[in-house]
Structure 1
Amino acid sequence: MTAQVTIYSSNRCGYCFRAKRLLDSKGLSYEEISVDGRQDVRQQMMQLTGNRTVPQIMVNGNAIGGCDELYLLDRQQKLDPLLATS
């Protein structure tokens, strides 16, 4: 079973696009939650992740960070095992 992935994003964010492109390249389905014009959703994201910038990515309910952290995990060959956990 694959991991449950949630990404908080904005349509105006290049880093969000890059993060989603990497997740898409893994053939992974994920829940995308847009914070555009939604201060309540951004507040929820900040409470869950401790960060106010997007993207914020959560795997199985654990915040892993943003785009840079996602690509770092991939370069370290730690992303695929993380995404394969249930």
Structure 2
Amino acid sequence: MKMNHVEGRKRGDVVLYALSTCVWCSKTKRLLDSLGVDYFYVDVDLLDGESRKEALREMDRWNPRRSFPTIVINNRVVVGFKEEEIKKALGL
């Protein structure tokens, strides 16, 4: 599965599972961008075949309910757009 990378200040491992049509996913990306954080993301709905299956398997490890956005920050999971929780997990 190919993930998109946004360069920024390293705050550990940050991975966002998103949907391209999800307003809350877009808000999460904008938040990470505004904080200048280095992160990886994948828009699961734009994947197909084995890439999509791989993304969903990986996401299931963190959020079996498969709700979006799911963000994994240094092995800590935040489900949904929760600005303060995200900042806290990033150490901000």
TM over 0.5: yes
CA distance in 2, matches of 1:61, 1:73: 14
Distance 2:75 2:24 in 1: 21
Structure 2 residues not aligned, in runs of 5+: 1-9
Query: For the residues of structure 1 that align with 2:64 and 2:22, how far apart are their CA atoms?
Result: 19
Q: Give the match for residue 65 of structure 1.
A: 79
The aligned counterpart of 2:89 is: 82
The DSSP-based 3-state class of the residue aligned with 2:77 is: strand
Deviates more, 1:17-26 or 1:47-56: 47-56
Deviations 1:50-80 (A, max 9, x none): 331111000012212221x2x1426xxxx1x
State the number of aligned residues: 78
C-alpha distance in 2 between matches for 1:54 and 1:84: 22
Q: Deviations over 1:4-52 (max 9, x none)?
A: 1100011111110001101111000100022114451224312322331
2:68 to 45, 49, 54: 54
Cα separation, partners in 2 of 1:82 and 1:63, compared to 1, 3 Å: closer
Structure 2 SS opposite 1:58:
strand
Q: Which amino acid aligns with 1:51?
A: R
Secondary structure at the counterpart of residue 19 of structure 1: helix
TM-score (norm 2): 0.69
Gaps of 5+ in 1: none
RMSD between superposed Cα atoms in Å:
2.2
TM norm structure 1: 0.73
Aligned to 1:4: 13
Q: Identity across aligned pairs (percent)?
A: 27
